Amino acid sequence: MRSWQERGLKFLEYMDCKGKTVLDVGCGTGWVSNLLREKGAQQVVAMDLSATRPVALSEQITYVQTLEELKEPLPSSFDILWCHHMLEHLDNPIAFLTKLAKVGKQLWIALPHAGAPYAFAKGHINNYNMPLLTEHLRRSGWDARNASYYTFPVRQLLWAVVDVGGDGTYPKPMDELNVEGVNTAHGLVFDTHNWEKISG
């Protein structure tokens, strides 16, 4: 497993998806989709541009290439959208985030931080820091006022959790890491594992 996948697993530990509907945006091999199902998600839909369904993807999971393929793309039909390492590849990320805002209640997103050495890797055409991601989320209909932002490791990966209405349930504060003297407001994810507070 690659290091960025391991970090994704760490972030997923704080997602409560039990009994919820989840869309895995840019599912790749389907490893996160399978994990979400194992974590108790009621329904998981995996989406990727690949014309071939991932071999490792569980048969219990629906696979689509586009949002338009969904039978009932109703507003807020998914409780959670998981968008892991794909926004940096898009020609028009704002347009795509706008589409996601119409079908999901809460977005969990991960992408390379602009300060990371691999931010300019082949295929990466967008380089994000927190202000730019906030602006793109705001323009596309997400309530960026109450977003939670994290970096892990420091200035390597940028993570965010945001919802449409601003009243969603964010990841619980990571008290398990035993960080002393830290406010448990939104925007905090901390540290013995090199999480860095960058907002909140």
Residue 39: burial class (beta carbons within 10 Å; 0-12, 13-18, 19+): middle
The SS3 assignment for 128 reads strand
Task: Pull the structure tokens for residue 54.
Answer: 């991932």
Q: Tell me the per-residue pLDDT of 41-58, one tens digit each, with 9 for 90 and over.
A: 999 999 998 888 999 999
Q: What pLDDT score was predicted for residue 119?
A: 78
Number of domains in the chain: 1
Q: How many CB atoms lie within 10 A of CB 156?
A: 19
Domain that holds residue 109: 3-197
Q: What pLDDT score was predicted for residue 102?
A: 87
Q: Tell me the per-residue pLDDT of 135-147, one tens digit each, with 9 for 90 and over.
A: 888 889 888 777 7
Give residue 73's pLDDT band: very low, low, confident or very high (50, 70, 90): low
Q: Tell me the per-residue pLDDT of 4-36, one tens digit each, with 9 for 90 and over.
A: 566 667 778 888 899 999 999 999 889 899 999
Question: Is the omega angle on the peptide bond into residue 153 within 30 degrees of 0, that is, cis?
Answer: yes
- CATH classification of the domain holding 159: 3.40.50.150
Task: Pull the structure tokens for residue 104.
Answer: 């999901």
Question: What type of residue sits at position 65?
Answer: Q
Contact predicate 69/11, CB 8 Å: no
Q: Tell me the per-residue pLDDT of 74-109, one tens digit each, with 9 for 90 and over.
A: 556 899 999 988 888 889 999 999 999 888 889 998
pTM for this prediction: 0.78
Note the helical H segments in 59-194: 93-103, 130-139
CA-based angle 89:92:148, to the nearest 5? 75
